Structure 1
Amino acid sequence: MLEGKRQKSGLTAAWVSRAKPKDKPYKLSDRDGLYLQIEPSGLRVWRMNYRFLGKQRTITFGRWPELLLGEARERLFDARRLLAKGVDPVEHAKLQKMLAAAHTFEAVAKEWLEKIAAEGAAAMTLKKARWLLSKLYPSIGKRPIREISAHELLLALKKIEATKRYDTANRARTASSQVFRYAIATARAERDIASDLQGALVTPRTTHRAAITTPIEAGALLRTIDEYDGYPLTRTALRLLAHVFVRPGELRWAEWSEFDLNKRVWTIPGHKMKMRRPHAVPLTRQVVASPRSGMQIISARGLK
């Protein structure tokens, strides 16, 4: 009698939980084509058989008890609605899985990195951004970016903060904010949740580095450079750095075509600068006074 009732109204949660594995796989039929297949190993899977374009197909909705009876029925109704529209539920599920993979935080972050690389971001800028974002991948990398909450991002950042790397945690929040803004622009997120976390992380204590701040100290430094008896090009570069205040690499790779000695300006092209923007450096009279002898920049070939 109970079996007849089950066949008429479908399964119940109690029947599903009481079902025992057998020597061979078997099915417990529900309604509208839904059934629970029970394997000898005890694995229980919700499935539906259907025909599409004349071919027999099977779609798997998920495992019990992760997917309960009511949820399995909802998946069944969704699949039948797709069939009514002429859409194959299996192919639709594959497409949704592909789209979901393209909408994860990690996927969007890597896409954003490719974008800024194509725009000419400096190699070091890209390296740092990749490193910072990689710190977040274990926690939220596989999560759909639209579904990530501010609290979830905060927990990921707190893991970095727990290692006492306060500056890294703050810079990771800034990098993630850029990713969320890119996701908004590409219709994969609605808001930048990272902006909600301003002030939520420990602010690293500022460490003041040793600096020369008085004319007397500056004079002592210049005299020390003049007395340097090491490699001549190193001494020349040190003398120039005291006047131009550029990075060592920018000085080393300088070219004669970048200098206008009449206007007393050195224009460093954007592709050599960290921010990828041209930078004009005023030249003092001491630098211009003896250009060929005083501007032998550290390089195997000197200035071009």
Structure 2
Amino acid sequence: MAVIKDTTIKALKYQNYKGKNKTIPNQWKFGVDVGLYVLMRKNGAKLWQHQYSFKNIDGKNVRRVLSYGAYPDVSLKEAKAKYRANNELVKQGIDPFDERERLEKEKQAKAKAELKRLEQEKIERDRKQKYTFEKMAREWHNTKSPEWSAKHKTEVMSSFQRFAFPVIGKKPIDSIERFDLMELLKDIEQRPNPPLTALRKLRQRLEAVFWYVIDTYKIIDENPAANIKSTSFKKVPEQHLRALPHEELPELMRRIESYKGFMTTKLALKMLVHTFVRHSELRLAQWSEIDWNKRLWTIPESRMKAGKPHVVPISNQVIEILKELQIINGHYPFIFASNHKPHQQAISENAVLVMLKNIGMWQTTTAHGLRSTFSSLANEQQINPDVIERQLAHTAGDKVRAAYNRSEYLPHRIALMQWYSNWIDGKQEPFGQFFESFSKSNTSQLIQVQK
């Protein structure tokens, strides 16, 4: 085949047809190389085409035609380059037609991904400029408040409006740093008659808002309020509220049962009533501390006020509470895992206290007051004071009483905990009478725990 030059293609006319037909067809081919030709059309258009044979997956030869564009938009040199490249693909067993489709799809996918990336960048820029602290705080409040009482809902928003919005409300959420929050909180602390309780609650709410933004919008990566400890501020003066009279335990349990909030918190308060441990001892409880066979919960020394491990016998009622919790939080380390970061955190230090407030028991008792409720009832029953004090994890007042080890009182404490749970449930029986029957029917358990 003679060498074809660009000038030849340029000079080529539709009327130059030299084929076998007497009349010029609507389109005809001018060969440039084996399989490469210019398709001449009646309207004067010159189109580059490449015809080749390719074996399909069935092993049959299939004729395919590739179009390279119109001349002179695509020059002879460019057409030949495409022609050679596609012939090379055929030699490698690759169908140029399929390859071109693949590359086109890949190109479209990349273009789509790039467009999406640019759109996302714009969204992120808009978010950072548009999403101020006030907007995010209100959004968090709207999301969480359906679980709260009307009074608590109003109190939370009022704290933002009073303290936070005037200072950081209009700031973009990603521009707020730990220093800004410390400055805000310290300013509250330095006021005459500072509202210290409100300050501590605000600190917790600031942290909650930032966690919400991190999880929902990914605008920020770190929570500037997370490392601000309550110990950084003046201590709230301790208030001594009366213990709940044991006659009011049924009403407390009725209100707990009717509570519609976070189930983990509800079960935490139920367990607190039955076990009367300190709130901090309960809140951070882990499944590894539970001995299901011996029905004992061992609180490690790190969480105990006296710095010594404390054993809490588990009553039948507490077993049922733990089984409910196991369904909810059994795959997390904490028995009372937080709703926000269940793999890493327990419920907040105020969760149970807020629930007491929401069920209308805030002015009646506190979490610590439940310990006094048990102590008063147990002393009324003339139970051995050493057994009571041991179960309350109180340090003995003299060396003789301190010399007793936990196993010497454990059978009595096991019976005591079951008796108290029964009492809470309305099965009110003198402890002496209960202990006698319990010891006879639970001999094997009492022997096992002392091994």
Q: TM-score, normalised by structure 1?
A: 0.41
Q: Which one has the largest radius of gyration?
A: 2
